[in-house]
């Protein structure tokens, strides 16, 4: 097999310039949908393609500018012996530190791993040209030789993986196992023989109909025309694509999307002696979470294969190790790599890494409230957070500071939505502001419960108690007894605001942790937004809602 050490892409689709190194084993490219993940896989697939002629168009050039050539390059090692022998003048080396050199003079005591530099250039004539280069040597590399690199691209169009077409993986496996002896000619002979056998099956059928045609032909002066059913070769072309894998007589290409994807991957990994470079776009498509998890574990165990995947799936991201993940941000010229410190964030807040901007909620209460605000925005046709590329995550309390810093360091716009009653967190907020993180919090020493109950109109408070009483019998009675220990209970005591009742309810809400779950945070949020028209726009809580909406729609501007 061959292995990609590093690659470059220039002037291809949305990529002006990109350079990266790759590791052996499983690697996953993540990022927003418009960041260029699929374009990178397409570029690698094109560069290592075994096709005689790939189709390019003006739209494949960066900004449609055909005056700047498309250039794709990769340094490959673990080369097949045939490549080393045939292209000896174009060999280069990789030292133990991963540095690439084309100066392999014997006078140096440096030990090199044998490698090549392969390039694909497309000019405005749209004709692709592949070649190897080192020092002053430039040598064209053929499609059949590029097939020896064993690269395959698995996406929605994988039917050719199930055929024995020349240069395909099944064809290479059959040659490796000595099941094909005479190159492609043997496969064509098999197809021709199968077609002849098929014709034998029709003998004796349609006799009366054919005899009638023959008699009619004789009446018109056409004698000695012997007719019989025959499979026309123009309808069944003789070619290696005619031999395909099937299950119970049904071609594998007819299977469901998920099963077809798994079988495509299985084909590429079937021969342990060959190894390969496998590119998989959107690994999760068509697969249930349990099959995704199993597939990731299986791919990770393929030691002689370089597997590069893309994903938009939280399940995929949660299963991967930090050193298997490559973050691609829009207009970046290389990948962002993670460290061991990021493993917890990658698993607990996977959805954040597919966003443009991120709201880090201090805890479950704030996260639930943001969910209620999202519901209100959609209901009022204000545009969902998703339409602005915004994702909210649970900051995990004291972990909020660390999460915010890490996400900001990777180029995300970050807003922190929090309260203001934990001294240790409060002292660190200025540090977040100093690096450009936007913070929306409560007034000094106030918790979320303090702020929302103090600033809301009384119908929000009374509606919450009433609705909670419907779900949790005697909720209002228990609350009343806690607040008024020396008074007899009376129904609807919460309908109207009385002296210091609001303060007592605030105290009870904190003591009994009324909102300390995502569900209850969303619950109070739904009630607040149902009564938004009755809120005082001069309160801190209302102003915080305005600030949140402005940030969702405009970012830090």
Q: Do 361 and 476 lie in a common domain?
A: yes
Q: Is 252 helix (H, G, I), strand (E, B) or coil?
A: helix
| Structural domain contains residue 164 | no
Residues 331 and 384 in one domain: no
CATH of the domain at 16: 3.40.50.300
Which H helix or E strand runs over 76? strand 70-77
Q: What is the distance between the alpha carbons of residues 459 and 474, in angstroms, rounded to a whole number? A: 20
Beta bridge partners of 117: 75
- Kindly list the distances between the CA atom of residue 276 and the CA atoms of 153, 231, 265, 340, 429, in Å, as whole numbers in the listed order: 11, 38, 11, 28, 49
Provide φ and ψ at 31, rounded to 5°: 150, 175
Q: What are phi and psi of 131, to 5 degrees?
A: -155, 160
- Would you say 345 and 325 are in contact if contact means Cβ atoms under 8 Å apart? no
Report the distance separating Cα 371 and Cα 235, nearest Å: 58
d(CA 39, CA 437): 31
Looking at the structure of the chain, the number of domains it has is 3
What average pLDDT is seen over the chain?
86
Q: Which of 287, 307, 328 is the last residue of a domain?
A: 287
Decide if 512 contacts 520 (C-beta within 8 A): no
Q: Based on the fold, state whether residues 377 and 474 are members of the same structural domain.
A: yes
Residue 360 lies in a domain: yes
Of 309, 335, 350, which residue constitutes the final position of a domain?
350
Sign of the C-alpha dihedral computed for residues 462, 463, 464 and 465 taken in this order: positive
Confidence of residue 211 (pLDDT cuts 50, 70, 90): confident
Cα–Cα dist 337/356, whole Å: 18
Collapsed DSSP state (helix, strand, coil) of residue 323: helix
Please state, in angstroms and rounded to a whole number, the distance separating the CA atoms of residues 61 and 69.
Answer: 8
Pick the last residue of a domain from 268, 287, 306. Answer: 287
The answer to the question of residue 27 being in a domain is yes
In this structure, the answer to whether residues 365 and 471 fall within a common structural domain is: yes
Residue pair 19/300 in contact (Cβ under 8 Å)? The answer is: no
Give the separation between CA 136 and CA 222, rounded to whole angstroms.
Answer: 70
Residues 152 and 297 placed together within one structural domain of the fold:
yes
Q: Cα angle vertex 229, ends 215, 194, to 5°?
A: 160
Q: Is residue 163 included in any domain, yes or no? A: no
364 and 491 in a single domain? The answer is yes
Per-residue pLDDT band for 19 (boundaries 50, 70, 90) equals very high
The percentage of the chain sitting over the pLDDT mark of 70, rounded to a whole number, equals 82
13 and 60 Cβ atoms separated by less than 8 Å: yes
SS3 state of residue 106: coil
Least confident of 376-390, 490-504, 516-530: 490-504
Question: Of 514, 502, 506, 515, which Cα lies nearest the Cα of 370?
Answer: 515
CA–CA–CA angle 242, 247, 252 (5° rounding): 55
Report the distance separating Cα 280 and Cα 498, nearest Å. 65
Residues in a beta bridge with 305: 276
What span, in angstroms and rounded, lies between the C-alpha atoms of 305 and 2?
Answer: 9
Q: What are phi and psi of 301, to 5 degrees?
A: -90, 0
Our CA angle for 291, 295, 298, nearest 5°, is 140
Question: Per-residue pLDDT for 365 more than 60?
Answer: yes
Instruction: Give the whole-angstrom CA distance, residue 464 versus residue 494.
Output: 10
What is the CA 533 to chain-centroid distance, rounded? 41
Distance separating alpha carbons of residues 287 and 275, to the nearest angstrom: 24
Q: How confident is the model at residue 155 (pLDDT cuts 50, 70, 90)?
A: confident
The pLDDT of residue 259 is 75
259 with 346, same domain? no
* Confidence (pLDDT) at 549: 96
Look at residue 351 in the predicted model and tell me its pLDDT. Answer: 94
Say how far apart CA 84 and CA 117 lie, in whole Å: 12
Does some domain include residue 115?
Answer: yes
Residue 513 lies in a domain: yes
- Cα–Cα dist 355/33, whole Å: 9
The reported pLDDT for the residue numbered 507 is 92
Predicted pLDDT at 474: 86
Give the model's confidence band at 422: pLDDT under 50 very low, under 70 low, under 90 confident, else very high: confident
What pLDDT was estimated at residue 531?
A: 96
Strands (E), 370-440: 390-394, 413-417, 438-440
pLDDT at 37: 95
Judgement on whether residues 222 and 301 belong to the same structural domain of the protein: no
267 and 283 part of one domain? yes
Greater confidence (314 vs 173) lies with 314
For the cut 80, the answer to whether the pLDDT of residue 240 exceeds it is: no
Q: Is the pLDDT of residue 250 over 90?
A: no
Q: Which residue has the higher pLDDT, 106 or 373?
A: 373
Residue 389 is assigned to a structural domain of this protein: yes
161: left (phi over 0), alpha (psi -120 to 50) or beta: alpha
Write the pLDDT tens digit of every residue in 191-200.
666 666 766 7
DSSP conformational letter for 338: P
Higher per-residue pLDDT: 187 or 304: 304
Q: Domain of residue 175: give its range.
A: 169-287
Taking alpha carbons only, the member of 65, 77, 73, 18 closest to residue 46 is 73
Please indicate, yes or no, if residue 162 is contained in any of the structural domains.
no
Q: Are residues 394 and 513 in the same domain?
A: yes
Between 179 and 97, name the one with better pLDDT.
97
Verify that 203 and 257 share a domain, yes or no. Answer: yes
HEC secondary structure over 118-168: EEEEECCCCCEEEEEEECCEEEECCHHHHHHHCEEEECCCCHHHHECCCCC
Distance CA 77, CA 37 (A): 23
Whether 85 and 212 map to the same domain: the answer is: no
3 state DSSP class of 312: coil
Which residues lie closer than 8 Å to 423 by C-beta, 6 or more apart?
none
């Amino acid at each position: 097999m061959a292995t990609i050490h590093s690659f470059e892409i220039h002037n291809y689709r949305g990529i002006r310039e990109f350079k990266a190194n790759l590791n052996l084993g499983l690697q996953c490219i993540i990022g927003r949908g418009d960041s260029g993940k699929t374009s990178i896989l397409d570029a690698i697939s094109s560069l290592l393609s075994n096709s005689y002629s790939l189709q390019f168009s003006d739209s494949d050039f960066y900004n449609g500018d055909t005056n700047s050539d498309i250039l794709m390059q990769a340094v490959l090692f673990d080369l097949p012996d045939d490549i080393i022998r045939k292209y000896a003048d174009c060999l280069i080396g990789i030292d133990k530190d991963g540095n690439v050199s084309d100066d392999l003079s014997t006078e140096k005591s440096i030990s090199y791993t044998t490698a090549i530099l392969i390039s694909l250039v497309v000019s405005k004539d749209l004709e692709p040209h592949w070649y190897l280069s080192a020092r002053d040597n430039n040598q064209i590399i053929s499609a059949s030789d590029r097939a020896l690199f064993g690269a395959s691209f698995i996406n929605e169009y994988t039917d050719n993986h199930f055929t024995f077409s020349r240069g395909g993986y099944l064809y290479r496996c059959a040659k490796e196992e000595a099941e094909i002896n005479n190159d492609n000619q043997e496969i064509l002979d098999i197809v021709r023989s199968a077609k002849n056998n098929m014709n034998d099956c029709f003998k004796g059928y349609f006799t009366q109909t054919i005899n009638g045609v023959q008699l009619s032909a004789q009446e018109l002066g056409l004698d000695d025309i012997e007719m019989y059913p025959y499979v026309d070769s123009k309808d069944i072309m003789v070619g290696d694509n005619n031999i395909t894998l099937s299950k119970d007589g049904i071609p594998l290409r007819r299977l469901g999307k998920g099963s077809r994807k798994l079988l495509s991957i299985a084909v590429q990994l079937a021969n342990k002696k060959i190894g390969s470079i496998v590119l998989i776009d959107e690994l999760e498509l068509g697969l249930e979470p349990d099959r995704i998890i199993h597939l990731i574990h299986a791919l990770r165990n393929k030691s002689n294969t370089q597997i590069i995947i893309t994903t938009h799936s939280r399940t995929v991201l949660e299963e991967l190790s930090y050193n298997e993940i490559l973050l691609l941000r829009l207009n970046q010229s290389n990948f962002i790599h993670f460290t061991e410190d990021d493993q917890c964030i990658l698993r607990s807040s996977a959805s954040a890494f597919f966003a443009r901007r991120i709201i880090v909620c201090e805890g479950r209460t704030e996260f639930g409230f943001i969910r209620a605000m999202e519901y209100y925005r959609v209901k009022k046709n204000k545009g969902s957070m998703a339409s602005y590329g915004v994702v909210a995550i649970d900051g995990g309390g004291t972990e909020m500071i660390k999460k915010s810093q890490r996400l900001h360091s990777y180029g995300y716009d970050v807003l922190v939505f929090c309260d203001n009653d934990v001294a240790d967190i409060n002292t660190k907020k200025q540090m977040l502001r100093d690096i450009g993180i936007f913070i929306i919090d409560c007034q000094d020493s106030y918790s979320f419960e303090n702020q929302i109950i103090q600033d809301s109109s009384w119908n929000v408070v009374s509606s919450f108690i009433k609705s909670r009483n419907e779900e949790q019998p005697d909720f209002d009675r228990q609350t009343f007894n806690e607040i008024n220990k020396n008074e007899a209970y009376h129904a609807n005591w919460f309908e109207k605001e009385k002296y210091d009742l609001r303060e007592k309810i605030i105290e009870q809400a904190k003591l009994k942790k009324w909102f300390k779950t995502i569900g209850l945070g969303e619950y109070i949020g739904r009630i607040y937004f149902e009564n938004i028209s009755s809120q005082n726009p001069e309160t801190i809580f209302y102003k915080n809602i305005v600030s949140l909406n402005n940030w969702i729609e405009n970012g830090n501007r």
